[in-house]
Chains A and B, each alone.
Chain A
Amino acid sequence: AQRVTQPEKLLSVFKGAPVELKCNYSYSGSPELFWYVQYSRQRLQLLLRHISRESIKGFTADLNKGETSFHLKKPFAQEEDSAMYYCALSGDYKLSFGAGTTVTVRA
């Protein structure tokens, strides 16, 4: 079975402060991991995936297989980063999501 855990439901940070969203997973095989974002009144969309190792909108995420984690980080939060963030794992032909973290960036 595959499982994704996001321990923080809510995260509030000040503009310009660093932000880190935690994600842990369990999966017996080699996982594909993703971060998706849902801005207010918009569709859920891909933010980044571990295999591409790229930075999107200043966000990065590193896959740590030893700790089975895929935490999302951004050094300087912006107000437009306020959104719901989901960590997701793809395995056995299905895509499973965590419970999500709502991020609020305050001015």
Chain B
Amino acid sequence: NAGVTQTPKFQVLKTGQSMTLQCAQDMNHNSMYWYRQDPGMGLRLIYYSASEGTTDKGEVPNGYNVSRLNKREFSLRLESAAPSQTSVYFCASSVTGNTEAFFGQGTRLTVV
């Protein structure tokens, strides 16, 4: 019972490097989300995808891009990493926007 799977779990990047965080869900959910978690800031929505083929900006989209590759997969890309993007990133999915969301285990990203 995989649920929501994120890769990698840990990553260290140098400033200016790029990388893609992968997320896949096996629950046939329509909606998928990317959040970042920072101390004192809670979970902030970066991008979301209400359904396959659509993506929308959340609260803090600058410096990120996303791709809803298919119904299962929703990737987050950092084109030119900055120290301010050091955070824990969570992917989540739900049947629709107003149903229970299921979360991945998180990716701890450090940009030096």
A43 to B90, CA, bound (A): 9
Please tell me if the beta carbons of A93 and B48 are within 8 angstroms of each other in the complex: yes
Contacts A6-B42, A44-B90, A86-B43: A96 and B59 contacting too (C-beta < 8 A)?
yes
Please tell me if the beta carbons of A44 and B98 are within 8 angstroms of each other in the complex: no
Whether, in the assembled complex, B25 has its beta carbon less than 8 Å from a beta carbon of chain A, the answer is no
Please tell me if the beta carbons of B92 and A95 are within 8 angstroms of each other in the complex: yes
Q: Is the interface of A mostly helix, strand, loop or mixed?
A: strand
Please tell me if the beta carbons of A45 and B103 are within 8 angstroms of each other in the complex: yes
CB contacts (< 8 Å) of B43 on chain A: these are 44, 86, 97, 100
Q: How large is the interface on B (under 10, 10 to 19, 20 to 34, 35 or more residues)?
A: 20 to 34
CB contacts (< 8 Å) of B42 on chain A: these are 6, 86, 97-100
Please tell me if the beta carbons of A94 and B35 are within 8 angstroms of each other in the complex: no
Whether, in the assembled complex, A32 has its beta carbon less than 8 Å from a beta carbon of chain B, the answer is yes
A97 to B48, CA, bound (A): 13
Whether, in the assembled complex, B101 has its beta carbon less than 8 Å from a beta carbon of chain A, the answer is yes
Q: How large is the interface on A (under 10, 10 to 19, 20 to 34, 35 or more residues)?
A: 20 to 34
Please tell me if the beta carbons of B59 and A90 are within 8 angstroms of each other in the complex: no
Binding site for B on A (CB under 8 A): 6, 9, 32, 34, 36, 43-46, 49, 86, 88, 90-100
* 7 nearest A-B pairs in the assembled complex, by CB-CB distance: A99-B42, A93-B97, A97-B43, A93-B50, A32-B98, A90-B98, A44-B103
Binding site for A on B (CB under 8 A): 31, 33, 35, 40-45, 48, 50, 56, 58-59, 90, 92, 94, 96-98, 100-101, 103-106
Known contacts A45-B103, A94-B56, A100-B43; 18 additional CB pairs below 8 A are: A9-B40, A43-B103, A43-B104, A43-B105, A44-B90, A44-B103, A86-B43, A88-B101, A92-B97, A93-B31, A94-B45, A95-B45, A95-B48, A95-B92, A96-B59, A97-B43, A98-B42, A99-B41
